Structure 1
Amino acid sequence: MTHTFVAFDGTTLAYRTVGGGHPLVCLPGGPMRDSAYLGDLGGLAAHRTLVILDNRGTGRSAVPADVSTYRCDHLGDDVEALRRHLGLDRLDLFGHSAGANQALVYTTRYPDRVGRLALVTPSTRAVGLAATAALRQEVTQVRAAEPWFPAATMALESIVAGAASPEAWQAVAPFFYGQWDAAAQAHQAAESGQRNGEAARIFGGEGAFDPLATRAALAAHRGAVLLLAGEVDLGAPPGLVAQLGGLVPDAKVVVQVGAGHYPWLDDAEAFTATLAAFLDRPSPPAA
């Protein structure tokens, strides 16, 4: 079911709900991709009511009058507007990929409003971390026997060298899926029609992130935190996710075997079991 609410600047934003139980607010990645690609997160809706946000200018949400509000720090304020709309004292948050940055920005600005925090194959720009060539090589070399590997490797080298053509990005797509099968190919083919390119370019612009403030907020955070990496994910290699985990006291870091950047597609049962176990844990006592 689709619902709407009004953001801090008057922009009408949409979200859909699916499932039952305590709400889990889900922030999509891309950045700035229609949340449709999340589906029902591999059946996670059987355990929670998923409140899946379409960020401004994506999906069924309106385009803002001021496009500078596509920047991630403003998107954090959209989450706060959603919390108020839902009438919740605290939010359990799920952030996928670039959506993890949005969740981290929100945690930095509204620390007392965050309950459980689940970051899945997270982007780490908000804390100033980036994947090294060595970390990426760890996940690419294990795919060497795949028929698409030679072309994908050449394309990746061209992207790293600054020649990031659409053809090159298409060629490296298999590195983001645990299995490059028909389902993965269909999921990837839908991306171009789901992403707001202008918004994506603005998302991480100057002023979007304050890594020192976010690191401090995470160091002080006492809520339950799950960081889930895909074993063969080029986008958020497990070594990078482990570095993020080192910034969060008592964070639980899980590597899903055989998974890429969309672990609910690669093994829905394993994914939902990990998330459900985390979400069902008793909450830590309030500070």
Structure 2
Amino acid sequence: MPVFSGRDGTRLAYRVTEDAGSGEPLLCVPGGPMRASSYLGDLGGLSGRRRLVMLDLRGTGASEEPVDPATYRCDRQVDDLEALREHLGLERVDLLAHSAGGDLAVLYALGHPERVRSLTLVAGRGRALGIDFTVEHRREAMALRKDEPWFEAGLRAFEAVWAGSASEADWEAVVPFFYGRWDAAARAHAEGEIGETNERAAEVYASPGAFDPVAARRAVAGVDAPVLVLAGELDGGPLPRVAHEIAAAFPAGTAVVQPGAGHFPWLDDPRWFVEAVARFLERGTD
């Protein structure tokens, strides 16, 4: 994997998909938080439309662990995205982020608005803007799955997780809620999570000081790049209506809801996902 250096000297790695040949690069920020970019795969075949540059955040995948673990904090990693842009020699970037990676991408856009050509948030979190999901949101989304054979066990497990009394089996029982279809592909994808996630870094990622929503709401007016927030119909983080709220925070924001999709929409209906994102990128970068 190619590597570059962060501002503090930490060696960071990324992978590049070559399916699209000389296609425009799309910088991809993984979520988790702090999960290696391998779980993104080729984003349902989006690699056939754009050259994907998949960053392994510091301490994940093939990237080094930093000397200072405090640099795992979300806002401290904004410099890593800027270092990657410089390393690639790009004046402006198209940026795609998934889940908790959405906060990192938003903070980058707020800090470097002149460097962002477009921003795509896939099931993206809006905590940086003071917009977050709640336990009530989770329950609301879960209720949509009441006809699934695993629903009752999953709901009981979720309540145990929320109460802080969850067993390992409980944690496993709630996983199906994150996927639009709990099939073999979803199971295989879910099995990789533990090995791909830096749990120590994840605890630091959103720690106190990472976000200043008041300042972010002031700064967002300066982001003139088009922003797409893509939400899964069955996802609770964010719910579709919360995705619309995140999009509305941006001057040029729009939201779309993928039918029947969960938190990993490129797995649930790859064709729908790829067409929606590619259409936005083509329109947003004209």
TM range (shorter): over 0.9
- Whether the 8 Å CA contact 2:225–2:252 is kept in 1: the answer is no
Residues 113-143 of structure 1: CA deviation (Å, up to 9, x unaligned)? 1110000001222112222444333321121
1:200 to 199, 202, 227: 202
Corresponding letter in the other structure for 1:152: G
SS across alignment from 1:280: helix
- Structure 1 unaligned runs (5+)? none
SS across alignment from 2:61: coil
SS across alignment from 1:276: helix
1 CA distance for matches of 2:268 and 2:15?
23
Pair 1:236-2:235 in alignment: no
Who is 1:28 aligned against? 30
2:84 to 82, 85, 94: 82
1 CA distance for matches of 2:69 and 2:210?
13
How many residue pairs match? The answer is: 283
Residues 180-233 of structure 1: CA deviation (Å, up to 9, x unaligned)? 011101110110111001000011111111112222222332111100000001
1:162 to 141, 161, 164: 164
CA-CA distance at 1:4 after TM superposition: 0.4
Pair 1:260-2:259 in alignment: no
1 CA distance for matches of 2:177 and 2:45?
24
TM-score under structure 2 normalisation? 0.95
2 CA distance for matches of 1:228 and 1:138?
18
SS across alignment from 2:246: helix
Who is 2:272 aligned against? 270
Which has the higher mean CA deviation after the structures are superposed, 143-152 or 130-139?
Answer: 130-139
The alignment's C-alpha RMSD in Å is: 1.4
- Whether the 8 Å CA contact 1:224–1:251 is kept in 2: the answer is yes
Aligned sequence identity (%): 51
Who is 1:281 aligned against? 283
CA-CA distance at 1:165 after TM superposition: 4.4
1:117-266 to structure 2, matched below 5 A, reads 117-266=119-268
Residues 78-112 of structure 1: CA deviation (Å, up to 9, x unaligned)? 00000110111111100000110110111121111
SS across alignment from 1:241: helix
2 CA distance for matches of 1:201 and 1:134?
23
Residues 154-203 of structure 1: CA deviation (Å, up to 9, x unaligned)? 11122223335443221111110000011101110110111001000011
- Structure 2 unaligned runs (5+)? none
- Whether the 8 Å CA contact 1:111–1:217 is kept in 2: the answer is no
Residues 25-83 of structure 1: CA deviation (Å, up to 9, x unaligned)? 00000000011000000010111110000000000001111111111111111000001
Corresponding letter in the other structure for 1:189: E
1 CA distance for matches of 2:119 and 2:271?
20
TM-score under structure 1 normalisation? 0.95
Who is 1:11 aligned against? 10
Cα distance change on mapping 1:164 and 1:101 into 2, 3 Å:
farther
Runs of 4+ in 1 over 4 A off after TM superposition: none
